[in-house]
């Protein structure tokens, strides 16, 4: 009989003892109904758990059947979202809790995978030929043996004992996320302390994780909620985890000796070695595990904090007099524009911090996110958006160089050094202190005069109030304005030799606990010196209540940005994002030349077009210089919408017509007339619908539309659709005003119409007496690389060109350019005036943007980077069939995602990818009528390293998607 697929027939080895199955079946049955994703046993017809059958060689075998679980094994699941790890931790905790009630004599058999009896591997260490690796194993075994007696005193229960990545199943679904679906194979069950279960599961779950310790801590923390752990459990966990991996590599080395031709055995060791080769700081791991379970970061942390709190006010004044009234100064990312370049704090900037503050002493916050830490030592990863340490872990006290520093309480010198690197500490001293209970804690004094090295030596006792060092200056303190960096640490062990003074915001939960606010040592309140974080939730809630619901936020988990630079954005905690989406900051966010020109103009004058000013003319000249000769008259307004509004008025005044022909899915702005010609808006559910004077033609999408790339006449065929629109106008006895289109439709899906399309359309419109409007808001000003404007690629001469977004680089400017004839007809005696359009400030900024595009050769950069981007995307297309089409010019790029050969749009997947890219700190968008086209449209400053970053992140996301689709 063939069993249906959803069952598993387990055929035991010859000689298998019935108790082996009895034990598993009894445990599994006990776990049934507890929502732990454990298997279900299918009894034999006579109701037994297993049966005996003869195999083809006549050997008696025990066989049994379980219901198969859905899902794939853990090792195939990527990414492993935090919710999944929590789910798993809870399941394992629940399993151990439930198995406390279980007992079976077979649990006490001898077993080489009993982690409590793992010393047998010592006898096989000779098989490990790499001496460095052998040393690693020896160290692990020694550590294990030093704590085994403690583990032996722990209560022992039945445990699964083999929660490796093949015995955990999960389902992964784009909308449901990743969920544990099975905990299988109870064949290794034994009696053991719970800590062994956790050590084994953590050992496998952490392998090849980007941040293995975080994964372990997340798993342990969630386990703890179901089956509480003790401090002793945590002390042992990492040691046992490493021992399990040691057993695993020794065992597989033994197997590979027996089966020298089986390359797989050696390959399968690799992840375990990759883990063991990383020398994790065991103290730090323990501290993180403790925090994950809600314990103090180190033992007695609260006792130290209590002591510091109780003695607040009675410590000796570090500066010999009170600094109680010293002002706090905000050096946070949102509180200062320093440094101008968040990747490179200039020497003069570092040396001048606070030079405008008029006080004897002023203080910088503990816990404050800052962008001033720009040297490579503060950054990790190969891209500019990789992790970066930004959050200050001390308090700064700015005052004169040479100021003497006294010890707040008695201490022993632990370290005295001169750290000479740029933006490092210069002279630095660490003192060890003791509270009344004998707990040790440490204070650090940075940016000292390095002469301290001559005066102090390690082990020296410093009395309370004793002057032991003095502040350095910018020449010897790491390059900073004179100040003391005072930091507290509850442990020296986790700090290793680096003594980080600044934390990655994503690690702040740990570092903030280990290095708490040192205000007490200054006799100040924590409240005064602790930075109050911008609370994203409050900002989001306020926004929700103060604005209309259709003021949308991007991303499932919205972002808050407080700084920008070139093609990077920085959130409120200093995390760097690569902006591959925003086209408004055309020449880059916060361009220094724009900052300067805007400041200068605001200092001088900002008024309107009713007065003469050279800059107004200059702005018109720099724009007209980029246009064909016939386009020789400018109008300045405040936005793309307003510019299109004016363009429509020009067309209507010049023709006396009202009717407009426009491609489907177009967008031209948020004003009444602009919405009327924007099918992207009016055709949405609850939209205003198509007005009788508006006539839609199919967008010339030759990938998905009616006429495709295989058709050589597709340009004409799409253009001919205009004839139908013209007949409709006749039919309703209307009069054509003109044709408006985004030269390359953007919200419609980054469409590049086939060559010759627009020239044929324009010809028809002109013949019918209409005006052709080219909306270049998205495509203009060099973004396309090979062309300054999209209409050049289509080889047409529009009658009206509309510019917006990038022309002001963030300042609201819209521009309409037209012919003398049209302008003359519009000049009908009624004044054209836009209060802010063409203001002195706008014109100064607009001129500067145009000059920067030229001076920094940004059109050429768009071309070159566009080439790399395209190449990278086409390579991805070869590996990922979900990429149906890659199209665009320069840095105006669309990547169309499809599910199958019928071009079914991969809408959900596109949304997933955009959100995952956001988690990887890259901003891209999604567009198109079915929201399945990834839109990549960065500021023109982007460089090849960033393109590489986009491509590799996109590749990772597309690989993730394969786990959903396969």
Instruction: Give contact residues for ligand PMP (rule: CB under 6 A).
Output: 639-641, 644, 667-670, 742, 746, 775, 777-778, 804-805
Shortest CA distance to 102 belongs to which of 46, 44, 34, 37? 34
- Rank residues 394 and 663 by Cβ distance to ligand PMP and give the closer one: 663
The token duo for 350 is 């570092």
Give the three-state DSSP class for 306: helix
Shortest CA distance to 483 belongs to which of 572, 372, 570, 344? 372
Q: Give me the least distance between CB of 623 and ligand PMP, in Å please.
A: 17
- Rank residues 158 and 696 by Cβ distance to ligand PMP and give the closer one: 696
**What CA–CA distance (Å, rounded) separates 59 from 16?**
11
Q: Give me the least distance between CB of 641 and ligand PMP, in Å please.
A: 3
Question: Does residue 174 contact residue 912 with C-beta atoms inside 8 Å?
Answer: yes
> Nearest residue to ligand PMP, using CB?
640
- Rank residues 332 and 746 by Cβ distance to ligand PMP and give the closer one: 746
DSSP per-residue string spanning 810-837: TB--EEEEEEHHHHHHH-SSSPP--SST
Q: HSE-up of 651 (CA within 13 Å, CB side)? A: 32
Q: Give me the least distance between CB of 661 and ligand PMP, in Å please.
A: 17
Residue appearing with tokens 């390579």: 875
Q: Give me the least distance between CB of 712 and ligand PMP, in Å please.
A: 29
Determine which helix (DSSP H) or strand (DSSP E) holds 486, and give its type and residue range.
strand 483-489
**What CA–CA distance (Å, rounded) separates 784 from 859?**
7
- Phi-psi region at 745: left, alpha or beta (left = phi > 0; alpha = psi -120 to 50): beta
Give the three-state DSSP class for 202: helix
User: Strand 694-697 vs strand 659-663: parallel, antiparallel, or unpaired?
Assistant: parallel
- Rank residues 366 and 581 by Cβ distance to ligand PMP and give the closer one: 581
- Rank residues 141 and 673 by Cβ distance to ligand PMP and give the closer one: 673
How close are the terminal C-alpha atoms of the chain, in Å? 30
Q: Give me the least distance between CB of 746 and ligand PMP, in Å please.
A: 6
Find the Cα–Cα–Cα–Cα dihedral 883, 887, 888, 892, rounded to 10°.
Answer: -20
- Rank residues 520 and 644 by Cβ distance to ligand PMP and give the closer one: 644
Q: Give me the least distance between CB of 694 and ligand PMP, in Å please.
A: 16
Q: Give me the least distance between CB of 496 and ligand PMP, in Å please.
A: 50
- Rank residues 775 and 960 by Cβ distance to ligand PMP and give the closer one: 775
- Rank residues 368 and 642 by Cβ distance to ligand PMP and give the closer one: 642
Q: How far is CA 675 from CA 195, 679, 747, 898, in A?
A: 64, 8, 14, 29
**What CA–CA distance (Å, rounded) separates 564 from 576?**
9
Q: Give me the least distance between CB of 749 and ligand PMP, in Å please.
A: 13
- Rank residues 161 and 778 by Cβ distance to ligand PMP and give the closer one: 778
Q: Give me the least distance between CB of 545 and ligand PMP, in Å please.
A: 25
User: How many CB atoms neighbour CB 260 within 10 A?
Assistant: 9
Find the Cα–Cα–Cα–Cα dihedral 186, 187, 191, 194, rounded to 10°.
Answer: -40
Q: How far is CA 256 from CA 134, 265, 895, in A?
A: 17, 6, 46
- Rank residues 576 and 639 by Cβ distance to ligand PMP and give the closer one: 639
CB proximity list for 25: less than 8 A, separation 6 or greater: 41, 49, 50, 64
Find the Cα–Cα–Cα–Cα dihedral 649, 655, 661, 665, rounded to 10°.
Answer: -10
- Rank residues 192 and 678 by Cβ distance to ligand PMP and give the closer one: 678
- Rank residues 90 and 668 by Cβ distance to ligand PMP and give the closer one: 668
Q: Give me the least distance between CB of 857 and ligand PMP, in Å please.
A: 25
**What CA–CA distance (Å, rounded) separates 649 from 658?**
9
DSSP per-residue string spanning 514-577: HS--GGGGGT--HHHHB-----HHHHHHHHHHHS-TTS--SSSS---EEEEEBTEEEETT--EE
Q: How far is CA 155 from CA 28, 152, 160, 161, 229, in A?
A: 22, 8, 16, 15, 12
Q: How far is CA 511 from CA 298, 370, 491, 504, in A?
A: 12, 16, 11, 9
- Rank residues 417 and 799 by Cβ distance to ligand PMP and give the closer one: 799
- Rank residues 589 and 935 by Cβ distance to ligand PMP and give the closer one: 935
Question: Does residue 224 contact residue 292 with C-beta atoms inside 8 Å?
Answer: yes
Q: Give me the least distance between CB of 639 and ligand PMP, in Å please.
A: 3
R_g (Cα) of the chain, nearest Å: 35
Q: Give me the least distance between CB of 780 and ligand PMP, in Å please.
A: 10
Q: Give me the least distance between CB of 933 and ligand PMP, in Å please.
A: 15
**Backbone phi and psi for residue 391, each to the nearest 5 degrees, phi listed first:** -100, 125
Q: Give me the least distance between CB of 637 and ligand PMP, in Å please.
A: 9
Q: Give me the least distance between CB of 562 and ligand PMP, in Å please.
A: 23
- Rank residues 367 and 804 by Cβ distance to ligand PMP and give the closer one: 804
- Rank residues 641 and 941 by Cβ distance to ligand PMP and give the closer one: 641
- Rank residues 646 and 947 by Cβ distance to ligand PMP and give the closer one: 646
Shortest CA distance to 243 belongs to which of 117, 93, 152, 108? 117
Q: Give me the least distance between CB of 681 and ligand PMP, in Å please.
A: 11
Q: How far is CA 847 from CA 443, 774, 850, in A?
A: 54, 22, 5
Q: Give me the least distance between CB of 644 and ligand PMP, in Å please.
A: 6
The token duo for 173 is 């679904």
Give the three-state DSSP class for 859: helix
- Rank residues 247 and 923 by Cβ distance to ligand PMP and give the closer one: 923
Q: How far is CA 490 from CA 433, 443, 493, 518, in A?
A: 10, 9, 9, 11
The token duo for 749 is 């899906």
Q: Give me the least distance between CB of 843 and ligand PMP, in Å please.
A: 17
Cis peptide before 887 (omega within 30 of 0): no
């Amino acid at each position: 009989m063939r069993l249906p697929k959803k069952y598993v027939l387990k055929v035991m080895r010859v000689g298998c003892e019935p108790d082996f199955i009895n034990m598993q079946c009894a445990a599994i049955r006990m776990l049934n109904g507890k929502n732990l994703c454990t298997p279900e046993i299918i009894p034999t017809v006579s109701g037994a758990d297993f049966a005996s059958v003869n195999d083809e060689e006549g050997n008696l075998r025990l066989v049994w059947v379980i219901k198969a679980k859905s899902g794939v094994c853990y090792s195939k699941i990527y990414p492993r979202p935090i919710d999944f790890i929590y789910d798993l931790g809870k399941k394992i905790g629940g399993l151990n809790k439930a198995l406390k009630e279980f007992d079976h004599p077979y649990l006490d058999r001898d077993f080489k995978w009993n982690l409590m009896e793992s010393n047998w591997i010592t006898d096989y260490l000779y098989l490990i030929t790499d001496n460095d690796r052998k040393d690693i194993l020896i160290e692990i075994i020694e550590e294990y043996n030093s704590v085994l007696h403690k583990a032996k005193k722990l209560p022992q229960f039945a445990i699964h004992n083999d929660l490796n990545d093949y015995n955990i199943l999960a389902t992964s679904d784009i909308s449901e996320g990743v969920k544990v679906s099975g905990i299988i194979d109870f064949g290794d069950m034994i009696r053991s302390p719970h800590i062994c279960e956790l050590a084994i599961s953590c050992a496998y779950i952490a392998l090849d994780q980007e941040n293995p310790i975080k994964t372990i801590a997340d798993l342990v923390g969630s386990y703890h909620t179901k089956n509480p752990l003790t401090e002793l459990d945590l002390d042992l966990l990492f040691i046992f985890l490493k021992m399990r991996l040691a057993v695993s590599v020794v065992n597989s080395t033994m197997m590979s000796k027996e089966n020298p031709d089986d390359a797989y055995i050696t390959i399968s060791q690799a992840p375990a070695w990759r883990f063991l080769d990383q020398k994790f700081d065991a103290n730090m791991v323990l501290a993180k595990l403790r925090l994950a379970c809600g314990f103090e970061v180190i033992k007695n942390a609260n006792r130290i904090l209590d002591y510091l709190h109780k003695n607040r006010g009675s410590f000796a004044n570090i500066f010999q007099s009170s600094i109680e009234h010293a002002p706090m100064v905000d050096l946070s990312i949102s509180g200062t524009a320093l440094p101008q370049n968040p990747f490179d704090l200039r020497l003069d900037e570092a040396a001048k911090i606070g030079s405008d503050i008029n006080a004897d002493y002023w203080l910088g916050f503990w816990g404050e996110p800052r962008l001033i830490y720009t040297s490579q030592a503060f950054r990790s990863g190969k891209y500019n958006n990789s992790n970066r340490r930004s959050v200050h872990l001390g308090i700064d006290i700015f005052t004169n160089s040479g100021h003497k520093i006294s010890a707040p309480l008695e201490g022993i010198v632990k370290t005295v050094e001169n750290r000479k690197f740029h933006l490092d500490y210069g002279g630095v001293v660490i003192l060890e202190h003791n509270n009344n209970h004998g707990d040790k804690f440490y204070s650090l004094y940075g940016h000292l005069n390095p002469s301290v090295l001559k005066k102090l030596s390690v082990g020296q006792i410093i009395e309370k109030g004793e002057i032991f060092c003095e502040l350095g200056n910018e020449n010897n303190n790491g390059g900073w304005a004179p100040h003391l960096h005072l930091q507290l640490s509850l442990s020296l062990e986790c700090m290793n030799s680096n003594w980080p003074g600044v934390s990655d915001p994503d690690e702040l939960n740990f570092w903030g606990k280990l290095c708490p606010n040192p205000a007490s040592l200054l006799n100040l309140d924590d409240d005064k010196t602790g930075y109050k974080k911008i609370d994203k939730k409050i900002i989001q809630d306020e926004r929700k209540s103060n604005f209309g619901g259709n003021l949308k936020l991007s991303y499932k988990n919205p972002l808050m940005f407080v700084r920008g630079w070139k093609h990077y954005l920085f959130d409120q905690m200093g995390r760097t994002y690569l902006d591959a989406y925003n086209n408004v900051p055309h020449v880059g966010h916060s361009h220094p030349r724009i900052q300067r020109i805007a400041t200068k103009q605001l200092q001088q004058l900002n008024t309107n077009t009713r007065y003469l000013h050279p800059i107004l003319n200059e702005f018109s000249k720099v724009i007209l210089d980029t246009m064909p000769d016939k386009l020789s008259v400018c109008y300045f307004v405040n936005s793309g919408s307003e510019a299109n509004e004016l363009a429509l008025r020009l067309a209507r005044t010049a023709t006396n017509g009202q009717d407009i022909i426009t491609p489907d899915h177009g967008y031209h702005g948020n004003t009444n007339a602009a919405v009327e010609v924007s099918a992207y808006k009016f055709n949405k559910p609850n939209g205003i619908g198509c007005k009788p004077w508006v006539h839609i033609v199919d967008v010339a999408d030759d990938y998905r539309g009616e006429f495709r790339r295989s058709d050589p006449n597709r340009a004409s065929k799409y253009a001919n659709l205009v004839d139908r629109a013209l007949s409709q106008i006749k039919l309703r006895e209307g009069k054509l005003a003109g044709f408006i289109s985004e030269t390359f439709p953007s919200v419609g899906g980054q469409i590049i119409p086939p060559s010759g399309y627009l020239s044929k359309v324009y010809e028809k419109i002109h013949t019918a007496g209409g005006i052709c409007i080219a909306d270049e808001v998205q495509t203009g000003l060099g973004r396309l690389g090979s062309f300054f404007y999209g209409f050049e690629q289509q080889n047409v001469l529009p009658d009206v060109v509309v510019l917006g977004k990038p022309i002001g680089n963030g300042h609201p400017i819209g521009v309409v350019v037209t012919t003398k004839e049209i302008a003359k007809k519009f000049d009908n005696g009624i004044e054209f005036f836009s209060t802010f359009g063409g203001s002195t400030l706008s014109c100064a900024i607009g001129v500067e943007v145009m000059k920067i595009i030229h001076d920094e050769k940004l059109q050429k950069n768009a071309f070159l980077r566009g080439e790399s981007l395209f190449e990278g995307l086409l390579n991805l297309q070869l590996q990922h069939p979900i990429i149906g089409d890659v199209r665009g010019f320069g840095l105006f790029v669309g990547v169309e995602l499809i599910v199958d050969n019928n071009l079914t749009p991969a809408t959900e997947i596109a949304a997933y990818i955009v959100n995952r890219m956001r988690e990887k700190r890259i901003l891209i968008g999604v567009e198109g009528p079915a929201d399945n086209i990834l839109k990549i449209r960065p500021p023109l400053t982007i460089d090849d390293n960033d393109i590489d970053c986009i491509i590799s992140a996109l590749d990772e996301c597309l690989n993730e998607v394969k786990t959903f689709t396969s």
